[in-house]
Amino acid sequence: MALSLISLEFLPFLGLSVVLMWATARRPAAQKWLLLVCSYLFYLSFGVVGVLVITLTGLVDFSVARRLGRSTEAITRQQLLWVSLTVNLGALVFFKYSAFLAGIVAAALRPTGMRIAVPDSLPLLVGLSYFTFAGMSYVLDTYYERIDPAQSFSEYLSYLVYFPKIIAGPIVRAADMLPQLRRGVQITAQDVETGCAYLLVGAVKKLVIADQLASHVSTILATPQHFNAVTLFQGMIGYTVQIYADFSGYSDMALGCARLMGFDFPQNFRMPYSAVNIAEFWRRWHITLSSWFRDYVFLPLEMAGRGMRNANVRASRNIIVTMLVCGLWHGASWNFVLWGGLHGIALAVYQVYGSSTRGRMHGGIQSAFHPGTLLSRMLTLSVVMVGWIFFGTQNLSIAFSYLWRMVTWATDGVALGSPYILPLTALVLVTHLLVNKDRNLVEELPTYSAPARVMTYASLLVALTCLVPSDTVPFAYVRF
């Protein structure tokens, strides 16, 4: 039985892990082994193959990083780096993209009369993309001498397999976690309260908001030809809220689990729908992934093309390439590629616009309710919502059908009345509009007065008790 952060079986597992971490607070070496055992037990619940893959790729990355730490010859270091990248990307491509690539080859050969069998997709290894990127960033940071190699294989595996983050992030880098492992973690009362707050907020986002939306939204996205334009518009905004509440809910729960065990992880979401431009959106959405692609894809492309005269053309090209790769990272589907391309083009347009207006824009920070700010937010959110249509549908045919019926404002089809979509959308979007987008209310909660904290926690518990649907759905980003 696979463990999940929202399953009842996970609670005693987490509680035991926290107690054992507290009991070994003064013994960092014991904590590493404890984390390793707990994480392997957690990941083993998803299958043996994943455990074997993460262990073997982890062994390669650890060995390569150790050699990089001792080697000074440029050619040897490059060869070692390519060994690690080949193993990591090879496993990712084999398990995630082999059927997709075989389908492309088969389609290309079809006009010649040649036929090749397209294999069924291999079983998806849960968390494959996340631990692959974590391992690659560790080796790359070691290669560029940004960090020192892990002191032992157990230390590195404790970082790589740590169970709150392995399934769907955040993509925690070795530079953030290894120092905490080495000095050992001690759990404070504030860590416990903040961790519980993250868990409660994340659970409400996932179970009360995302899962209440899931049934109606998934029906609309699957068969847009059956619904009129008003219903399709509801499905679009509903999925916009659902995917945010689902994924940010997981991230909050992962941060809460880590904080309960004394670890401080980077934030993964900061009010993304409050962004006034598409670049800001990507600084606030899935922050650890955005920064990963910036540091390990976009910046190397920029460095490689620094001889190009036109900086705007170079940056635009590299932004689009980066976002296409980001789209493909999400899954072996042309929908994801087009989703990434749409965001890449939007970012490139904003890059050109920003460079052309830089130096001519002046004045103070505009109010959140300034007409210009509201218009910018609406434009940004419109691009994001259109992109979610490609992200949330099964294939391009369905996605284009969905958009076409909205653009032509189709009146034929069923009008689905959902009691959840509009109220929950209003709740999330108004929160993004009214709350300071740079505040972290969960981190602030322990500083509030006792009555305010009790009321907040009680409200969250009541919501979880009364408003959770009977059928919960898996976290959306687990499949990536």
Beta strands in 83-180 (DSSP E): none
The DSSP result for 45-90, as a single string, is TT-HHHHHHHHHHHHHHHHHHHHHHH---HHHHHHHHHHHHHHHHH
The answer to whether residues 383 and 342 touch, using CB atoms and an 8 Å cutoff, is: yes
What's the pLDDT score for residue 109? Answer: 73
Radius of gyration of the chain from Cα atoms? 23
The helix (H) or strand (E) run that includes residue 134 is helix 128-143
What's the pLDDT score for residue 364? Answer: 46
Q: How many CB atoms lie within 10 A of CB 320?
A: 18
pLDDT band for position 2 (cuts 50, 70, 90): confident
pLDDT band for position 24 (cuts 50, 70, 90): confident
pLDDT band for position 1 (cuts 50, 70, 90): low
Average of per-residue pLDDT across 244-248? 95
What's the pLDDT score for residue 362? Answer: 45
pLDDT in tens, 259-309: 999 999 999 999 999 999 999 999 999 999 999 999 999 999 998 888 777
Classify residue 364 by its DSSP letter. S
Q: Which two tokens stand for residue 135?
A: 């391992």
- Rounded to 5 degrees, φ, ψ at 152 are -150, 160
pLDDT in tens, 329-388: 998 899 999 999 999 999 999 998 887 776 444 444 556 667 778 888 999 999 999 999
pLDDT at 129 over 50: yes
Cα of 34 vs its chain's centroid, Å: 26
pLDDT in tens, 421-460: 999 999 998 888 888 888 888 999 888 999 999 999 999 9
What are the structural domain ranges in the chain?
10-186, 191-473
Percent over 70 (pLDDT), the chain: 96
Averaged pLDDT score across all residues of the chain? 90
What's the pLDDT score for residue 100? Answer: 79
pLDDT band for position 161 (cuts 50, 70, 90): very high
| Cβ partners under 8 Å of residue 397, min gap 6 | none
pLDDT at 322 over 90: yes
pLDDT at 391 over 90: yes
The answer to whether residues 250 and 475 touch, using CB atoms and an 8 Å cutoff, is: yes
pLDDT in tens, 71-121: 889 999 999 999 999 999 999 998 888 877 777 777 777 777 777 665 566
How many whole angstroms separate alpha carbon 472 and alpha carbon 215? Answer: 10
Percent over 90 (pLDDT), the chain: 68
What's the pLDDT score for residue 105? Answer: 77
Greatest CA separation for the chain: 75
CA distances from 405 to 94, 219, 282 (A): 37, 16, 28
* DSSP bridge partners of 414: 227
Cα-Cα end-to-end distance for the chain: 20
What's the pLDDT score for residue 209? Answer: 95
Lowest mean pLDDT among 109-113, 238-242, 394-398, 408-412: 109-113
